Amino acid sequence: MPLSVKAAALRFLKIRPRSIFELKEKLEAKGFSDDEIAATIHDLIVSGLLDDRAFTKSWINYRLARPFGFRRIIQELKAKGIDQEIIDQAITEVDDKYNSQEVALELVQRRWQRLPALDPQKKKKRVMDFLLRRGFEIDTVLKVLKRIK
């Protein structure tokens, strides 16, 4: 017996929370019609099981705990189809509580210890690249690198 659209959607949401865009893509890949998908997504939104604002907040909290910088988190959320207004609002809510400079400094200190005995300039370059890949702003990275010895 074929899987219903709603059953497939609930399975995807059981694995992990998803944005509306992500769920729509997953259901399209399974071959469901646009009308079935739209109706299912509408039902899930109305029932509260699918909410881009809640998804965005949980994604930000999850990624900040890793820790990543806002630049990378914003990029990931855009790729998940989240509206820029929702992203901005969620980032504003957590921005006051998250000191990216202190978090980056802590990451640098841990990373610095693990790097082999290299030339200090090479070490700084590696640490800088690491922080940039993690999504920290360049000005934050430069300030942190000035603080390490």
CATH number at residue 73: 1.10.10
Say yes or no: 39 and 16 in one domain: yes
Say yes or no: 41 and 64 in one domain: no
Say yes or no: 57 and 85 in one domain: yes
Q: What is the mean pLDDT of residues 72-83?
A: 96
Residue 107's pLDDT band (cuts 50, 70, 90):
confident
Q: What is the mean pLDDT of residues 22-27?
A: 96
Using CA atoms, how far residue 149 sits from 115, 127, 145, in Å, is 14, 13, 8
For residue 118, what pLDDT is reported?
Answer: 74
Say yes or no: 105 and 138 in one domain: yes
For residue 1, what pLDDT is reported?
Answer: 34
Indicate the average pLDDT of the chain: 90
Say yes or no: 91 and 118 in one domain: no
Say yes or no: 108 and 89 in one domain: no
Say yes or no: 39 and 65 in one domain: no
Check pLDDT > 60 for residue 53: yes
* pTM recorded for the entire structure: 0.83
Say yes or no: 56 and 43 in one domain: no
Using CA atoms, how far residue 135 sits from 5, 32, 46, 119, 143, in Å, is 36, 36, 34, 25, 15
Q: What's the number of domains the chain is made of?
A: 3
Residue 2's pLDDT band (cuts 50, 70, 90):
low
Q: What is the mean pLDDT of residues 51-68?
A: 93
Tokens linked to 30: 């399974």
Say yes or no: 80 and 118 in one domain: no
Q: How confident is the model over 112-145, as pLDDT tens digits?
A: 777 777 777 888 888 899 999 999 999 999 999 8
Say yes or no: 40 and 21 in one domain: yes
Residue 125 belongs to what domain range? Answer: 100-147
Helical pair 84-95 and 52-64, crossing angle rounded to 10 deg: 50
